[in-house]
Amino acid sequence: MTAPWIHPASTPVDLSSRLSSRRRWLRTAGGMALGASGLALVPEVRLFAQQVQEFIEGPPVPDVKPEQLSPHVWMVYAKDGFPTQENQGLMASVFFVITQKGVVVMDTGASVQIGQMAIRMIKTVTPKPVIAVFNSHYHGDHWLGNHAFVEAYGKDLPIHALAHTRDQIAGHEGNLWRSLMERWTNQATLGTKVFAPNKVVENGQIFDYGDVQLKMHFYGKAHTPSDLSIEVVQDKLTYVGDIAMANRIANIDDGSYPGTFKYYEAIKKAAGAQLWVPGHGRGSKDLLDTYGTFMQGIWEPCVQAVKEGIPLEGAKALVLKDPRVASRAKTMDGFDSNIGKYTSLAYLEAEKEAF
């Protein structure tokens, strides 16, 4: 795949070599500092030990106070944006549902450190344990935090996803995303391990947690080939992952424009009126309509251009003039750096659809 958010100026990092040298340093320096049990009580040595730990694992992520979205659903909000050293990869929100049987988490964040922070925040709201995790899709900013939850609640913790998502994380995509997050955050996520989903879900499946039921939705290729949306039935709230975003251009490298529109129509018909909550940004009852309008503003001019034999550069001009796109140009995160790429993807898909 072509991964999103890759900065052109970035250079590859030999992570295995760097980790190896760090481990050698740890064995030498750590042994010198902590070999005598009495020294461990000295404040300077404790500080040194903490710095050693961060040197090989990456620093903790600062707490983000949870926000209640509905009677059962809470959110650890991540400011919309892209992964950087400053935000430590915290750019996709973590959601949790408090039920009679325990806590259910919907997406776990981009690192073990973010997952650990989310667990701390869950414990400020309820003493109940986490009993299940759901991963919306295979992009790493949504599931790399699985590590923290497995570490805290055991290897038998159910982690649910669509079959394709599970296979991608267990395969090439898992280690790719782990390495990319380390690179984009200047190794702030270091120490994160890949823990793939261990339970497969299907469209229409319902999970009963006593006072709360979660209904699974999947209607084909949209943001990726396997985007799981999760309806919290009693709250009339549906978590849609990355099939829509509040104020950011969604990565469509692995997805489909017409597939996205079909998904929107199908889920609106199946679930009815909902508070639609995305992984990036804040939710709203009209999220699918407003983001769908923006996406149509990219897609329809490209279809027109292909039909009329207008080349790609002409299609880009049509897209930028379209009022559905132009109205978002000054306020949407990542617009200038991504609109050209995602117009090109729309144009290529329109060509494929036409022929």
In order, the DSSP letters of 73-85 are: EEEE---SS---T
Each residue's pLDDT tens digit, 256-314: 999 999 999 999 999 999 999 999 999 999 999 999 999 999 999 999 999 999 999 99
Q: Three-state SS for 27?
A: helix
Are the beta carbons of 165 and 138 closer than 8 angstroms?
A: yes
User: What secondary structure letter does DSSP report for 329?
Assistant: T
- State the pLDDT confidence band at 50, using cuts at 50, 70 and 90: low
Each residue's pLDDT tens digit, 10-19: 333 443 444 4
Q: What is the pLDDT of residue 16?
A: 43
Q: What is the pLDDT of residue 35?
A: 47
- State the pLDDT confidence band at 48, using cuts at 50, 70 and 90: low
Read off the tokens for 252. Answer: 């469509």
Residue 6 reports pLDDT greater than 50: no
Q: What is the pLDDT of residue 103?
A: 98
- State the pLDDT confidence band at 3, using cuts at 50, 70 and 90: very low
Cα distances (angstroms) measured from residue 230 to each of 30, 119, 161:
46, 20, 11
Q: If we measure between CA atoms, which residue out of 162, 196, 201 comes closest to residue 177?
A: 196
Q: What is the pLDDT of residue 23?
A: 45
Cα distances (angstroms) measured from residue 7 to each of 82, 120, 174, 180, 317:
11, 32, 20, 11, 24
> Helices in the chain by DSSP H: which ranges?
15-25, 31-34, 43-57, 112-125, 146-153, 163-170, 172-184, 257-271, 287-307, 312-321, 323-326, 335-354
Type of residue found at 319: V
- For the segment 105-109, the average pLDDT, to the nearest whole number, is 98
- Element counts in the chain: helices (H) and strands (E): 12, 12
User: Can you give the pTM of this predicted structure?
Assistant: 0.85
- For the segment 105-110, the average pLDDT, to the nearest whole number, is 98
Q: Three-state SS for 280?
A: coil
What is the Cα 218 distance to its own chain's centre? 17
- For the segment 46-75, the average pLDDT, to the nearest whole number, is 83
Residue 41 reports pLDDT greater than 50: yes
According to DSSP, the β-strands at 159-162 and 199-201 are: parallel
Are the beta carbons of 258 and 299 closer than 8 angstroms?
A: yes
Q: What is the pLDDT of residue 46?
A: 63
Question: Which domains are assigned to the chain?
Answer: 67-218+274-281 (3.60.15.10), 296-354 (no CATH)
User: What secondary structure letter does DSSP report for 333?
Assistant: B
Residue 114 reports pLDDT greater than 70: yes
> In this structure, how many other beta carbons lie within 10 angstroms of the beta carbon of residue 213?
14
Q: If we measure between CA atoms, which residue out of 172, 170, 160, 264 comes closest to residue 216?
A: 160
Q: Three-state SS for 199?
A: strand
User: What secondary structure letter does DSSP report for 129?
Assistant: P
Q: If we measure between CA atoms, which residue out of 196, 278, 167, 262 comes closest to residue 230?
A: 278
- State the pLDDT confidence band at 82, using cuts at 50, 70 and 90: confident
Q: How far, in Å, CA of 257 to CA of 302, rounded? A: 11
Each residue's pLDDT tens digit, 197-241: 999 999 999 999 999 999 999 999 999 999 999 999 999 999 999
Q: What angle (nearest 5°) sits at the alpha carbon of residue 56, between those of residues 51 and 62?
A: 65
Residue 8 reports pLDDT greater than 50: no
Each residue's pLDDT tens digit, 142-169: 999 999 999 999 999 999 999 999 999 9
Residue 187 reports pLDDT greater than 80: yes
Q: Three-state SS for 184?
A: helix
Q: Three-state SS for 237?
A: strand
- State the pLDDT confidence band at 130, using cuts at 50, 70 and 90: very high
Mean pLDDT of the chain: 89
